[in-house]
Chain A
Amino acid sequence: MKLFGVSLQRNGAIENNNFAPSIVWTPDANPAFQNTYLFPVEIPAGTGSWFENVTTEQVDAAGYEVFGGPFDRYFNETAIAEYKYGYDPLWNVLDPNTYTYTDKQTNQTYTLVANETTYGFPKPSDISEMLYAKNQCLLQTRLLAIYNDNPTQVTVKVRIADQSFKGAVTELINMTDQNDPYGLLDTGAGLGVLYEYEGQTGPSLETDGADYSPANVKFKFRKGGLGNTLPYIPEEMTYTIPAGGWAMAYMPMYVTKENGDYAGIDDDYLVLATETQ
């Protein structure tokens, strides 16, 4: 098995900019559709060479702000309204408990229903608010290409075997036939998102040579969206890939800063591993 990042050009630099304005959309034979090509490149080994180093400005800009709303009334003064909270890993775990909070100013009570919200702090009032908060914490997104260099079809598990959970947390998400409700792969305001090719669970495979080896293959994406409807941290995906075939995943990374004193993290990391069945 081999894992690859993607580039906008054959043998080009690995793409680190969330595919933002660099992507060029080309109309299809049916001008209602637009496509773009991406190419596999080796994943570089140096710190900050694939997932970029995160700057103070990016940390300040990302996160979920507890402002004005009911939070400072549901919770006491330990919740500082104007601070931004980062992604809490427990946001992705459904909470089976029911909570009732009272607005200190109006005495009105608010009930958070069991299994409709998650753990973590601050506790969003429902799943949709959690997804909004999660989106506010998004830092970077990377496309991952999985290549089966075996002579036979295999079933392989691709998983995030370990990660630090300190400065950032990363998910591994499969392509599905659904849209991207959170816009995680949005290439920029109004520029569209990468979308699986029509009728396929992933991009269309095309080649510049005689075969679909990493040296020749290219991935044709349609302008649209990718799926992510999973409310928990997806860290493991199982793929069945034919001999010499490809599968696609993408990996959104979120800031995990907490309220209060927070220092930068050197060598925040994740470990990607495959396990052929």
Chain B
Amino acid sequence: MLKVWDGSDWSPLDGVKFWNGTGWDRNNKSKVRSASAAWLPQKFTDKDVVYTIKWNVAGRTPPATPDPVTTVPNIVGLTQAAAISALQGATLNIGDITYFTTTTLADDGKIASQSVQPLLKVPENSFVNFVVYEYKVATATVPQLNGLLRSAAESAITSLGFIVGNKSTVETYDVNLIGKVVPDIQYPEAGTTADVGTLVNFDYYIQKPFVTMPNLLNKAEHEVFSLLYAVNLEEGTRTTTETTNTTLEGLVKTQQYNAGQQLQAGTTVNYNVYVPNTTTIMPNIIGKTPAQAAALLQTAELYPGTETNQETTNVSLEGTIASAQYGAGTTRPVDSTVNYVVYVPNTTTTVPNIVNQTTAVATSLLTTAELYLGYQTSEVETANTALHNKIASQSPASGTVQPVHSSINYALYVPLKTATVPNIVGQSTSTAAQTLSVAGFYLGSQTGTSYTTNAGQVGTIITQSLTGTQKIGTSINYTVYVLNPNTTVPNIVNQYYTTANTTLTSAGLNVGSVTEVETTNSALVGYVQSQSVTAGSSVLKGTTVNYVKYKAKVLVPVTVTKTGTAYIWSPQIGSYYGSNSRRANTEPAYFGQWVSSTGNQYSLINVTDAARNAACNAVSGNRPYTVTNAAVNFIQGSGYGYSTKNFYFGYSSGSITGMPGTNTNYVYTNQQYVGSSTNGNSYSINLNSDLRRACFTSPSYPLVVNAQSTAQSAYGALTNIYIALTIQWTETTYV
């Protein structure tokens, strides 16, 4: 964004072009000058840099090699303490000490070898490493004895320098183990390291003795444990065999091993014992009388149980057993009961199906089933002649069980009863109902409607569902005329709103919400601009139609305050000295002591009301204005007095037109201190509020210029004088 000063205000610009002398260029760059008068931006470098810095490093002084001055002592065979003492006595340092294992006790702790040979000359403080013997007893690895024969195990122990220790025996019947070492029982364990001469203990297997099986057959059962325990055998599983022979009860029937057989001690022996019988076989009692069945059951150690009945129409079966609780040949507990069923004469029968049969056939079927044909309870009309005079339904239904000799009622098919349906088209529904009733029919349901705009047709029947010959009692459905509920929306645009309301109401429509839109055309005020439902469309009566109507727009006055600058280029000038002597009536405007003979002087700068009004009205467009600032612009004249001087502004009371030869008005000097000014420089001095009001408000007084002192050093003159008035006025517009 860029702004430029157009003389009265800052105006924004979207872009700038540059004139290169022959044409307008784009994409040029520009600079601005800062407050310190430097052009920005300044040149810069944004590159990274690399510096290589080198130097030389001299070598250091090599150290002198020390001369060999001391003799290495022979320390082999000395103790470690004696060897360290010998080396330190020879001004030598102790180097690395390592150890070497020996089984010779006499060598323990003595030096085995040294790193520097004895009697060699070496520098002082050289390091001498040496090796020291360390005594340890001989050891061997204990052998694995598992599975070895005892003799082989003893050889393995003694061959390694160990001694055979304690040997225990373990009995076994396994011939493959007898004589061999028991596994994983030796001590010390196989694989461990033990000193030579250590005792090695182990166990080995020997034969275990057998026992003789005693005779248990026909022995009482309570003797079995004693007989087996006496020979170190175990009592095994006891099984039983049932017998009806009471003399055998409680005696051993069989034993697992024959008497006299050799068995391993601890063997378990199973045996079988006779016990009384607890079951019997069920006899066949089907077809027998209850008395015959009771005899059969008693023989088989059973008893008759509960007797129940089953009806039968077979007379030959009556009084015999139809079924039993358990089948013949099944095993039953002794003295248990057996329930059974006995055939008895029937009291009920199953109803046969007699539908679609003539009454003669139905009577035959019912007689067979020990039933009777009852009453005809109703008729069923049918157009099917094949069914006429046949049974349409029965009660009770077929398949149900009924007492014998009861009756079965029925309904009979008969021919249809019909009439001709009367024409009810064009009749009202009440009339049609009466018409149909007379003919034996009923008015049915309304099944549809059609719109009509003829009010006389509304409610009359259009069509009927059935005509011609129909079954009496049939319902006749129908359709009727109804009034059309729709209307056509009228066009109300450009109608005056009261007319539009009448138009909508006449068309059966409701007037909805009315909104307003402003217009500056008075001829449109009150007229409809638009409607919510399109004219010509078909809608239900009672539909609401909204519309927009025009209303008059009201203008609002807005007052804006504006400012501007009016310039008065040539104000009237007059200079006075002494006793109101006149010096000049044009620039420059003198002040201060000119020469001693004329004394102090001052000047008038006069802007008449007419001149001010002319300049300001040209800016405000002849609107009333107010002067808000008055700036006196001038160049401090060269060639008058000292180069710098101080002076004041004041005013002379009394409005004047044209510079008088003698100023008789009161002169008020020293009203506003202007400050120090320099010859040849330009200045713009804003008058204070009092001077601005005295000199630029009607009636306006001349502005006075006077020196700070009456010395000749204060003498000066103003040239190129013009006045810049900042004015303010108001303007009114209507929006």
Contacts and interface: CB of A to CB of B under 8 A. Distances in A.
Given A2-B49, A271-B50, A150 B44 contact: yes
A154 to B, nearest CB: 8
Interface in B86-122: 93-97
Nearest to A160: B53
Contacts of A276: 46, 48
Interface of A: 1-3, 43, 45-48, 50-56, 58-60, 72, 76-77, 80, 82-84, 104-105, 149-151, 154, 156, 161, 166-168, 255, 257, 261-276
7 contacts: A3-B49, A53-B57, A168-B55, A268-B54, A268-B55, A269-B52, A274-B48
A77 B60 CA distance: 21
Contacts of B52: 45, 269-272
A211 B329 CA distance: 133
Given A80-B63, A150-B44, A151-B42, 20 more contacts: A2-B49, A3-B49, A3-B51, A53-B56, A54-B56, A54-B57, A55-B58, A56-B61, A77-B127, A82-B63, A104-B94, A151-B41, A167-B56, A264-B57, A268-B55, A269-B53, A271-B52, A273-B50, A273-B51, A274-B50
B44 A151 contact: yes
A104 B47 CA distance: 61
Contacts of A50: 53, 55
B57 A150 contact: no
Contacts of B94: 104-105
A3 B50 CA distance: 9
A47 B47 CA distance: 25
A59 B51 contact: no
A151 B39 CA distance: 13
Contacts of B621: none
Given A76-B96, A82-B63, A264 B49 contact: no
A83 B63 CA distance: 8
A80 B95 CA distance: 14
A145 B126 CA distance: 52
B61 A60 contact: yes
A231 to B, nearest CB: 25
B96 A48 contact: no
A8 B295 CA distance: 149
Of B50, B53, B54, which is in contact with the most chain A CB atoms at under 10 Å from its CB? B53
A59 B55 CA distance: 14
A123 to B, nearest CB: 19
A76 B51 CA distance: 44
A275 B493 CA distance: 78
A1 B48 contact: yes
Contact of B57 (A46, A76, A156, A166): A166
Interface residues of B, number: 29
Contacts of B58: 53-56, 58-59, 264
Nearest to B62: A261
B45 interface: yes
Contacts of B44: 149-151
Contacts of A76: 95-96, 127
Interface of B: 41-42, 44-63, 93-97, 126-127
Given A105-B94, A150-B44, A263 B59 contact: yes
A264 B56 contact: yes
Contact of A150 (B46, B51, B54, B61): B46
A167 B45 CA distance: 36
Contact of B48 (A60, A257, A273): A273
Sorted nearest first, the 3 A-B pairs with minimum C-beta distance are A167-B57, A264-B59, A59-B60
A48 B60 contact: no
Contacts of A255: 57
Contacts of A154: 46
Nearest to B45: A149
Contacts of A265: 56-57
A268 B45 contact: no
Nearest to A243: B44
Contacts of A47: 54-56
Contacts of A56: 58-61
A168 B45 CA distance: 33
A55 to B, nearest CB: 5
Contacts of B47: 1
A59 B127 contact: no
B56 A266 contact: yes
A275 B49 CA distance: 8
Contacts of A269: 52-55
A51 B55 contact: yes
Nearest to A275: B48
B54 A267 contact: yes
A33 B52 CA distance: 37
A121 to B, nearest CB: 17
A168 B63 contact: no
Contact of B51 (A84, A261, A272): A272
Contacts of A166: 57
A60 B289 CA distance: 142
A167 B54 CA distance: 11
A276 B96 CA distance: 57
B55 A53 contact: yes
A49 to B, nearest CB: 8
A154 B46 CA distance: 10
Given A1-B49, A43-B51, A77 B57 contact: no
Contacts of B45: 149-150
A66 to B, nearest CB: 13
Contacts of B49: 1-3, 273-274
B96 to A, nearest CB: 7
Nearest to B42: A151
Contacts of B42: 151
Nearest to A269: B54
Given A60-B61, A149-B45, A151-B42, A272 B55 contact: no
B56 A48 contact: yes
Nearest to B50: A273
Contacts of B54: 46-48, 267-269
Nearest to A259: B63
Contacts of A84: 60
B59 A59 contact: yes
A216 B410 CA distance: 138
A72 to B, nearest CB: 8
A271 B51 contact: yes
Contacts of A45: 52
Nearest to B60: A59
A168 B51 contact: no
Nearest to B48: A274
A261 B62 CA distance: 7
B57 A168 contact: yes
A267 B56 contact: yes
A48 B127 contact: no
B51 A268 contact: no
A272 B53 contact: yes
Nearest to B126: A77
A257 B63 CA distance: 14
A140 to B, nearest CB: 9
A59 B96 contact: no
Contacts of A43: 51, 53
A43 B52 CA distance: 10
Contacts of A257: 60
Contacts of B60: 56, 59-60, 84, 257, 262
B29 to A, nearest CB: 15
Contacts of B97: 104
Contacts of A48: 54-56
Given A77-B127, A151-B41, A272 B50 contact: yes
A53 B94 CA distance: 42
Contacts of B95: 76-77, 104
Contacts of B50: 161, 271-274
Nearest to A47: B54
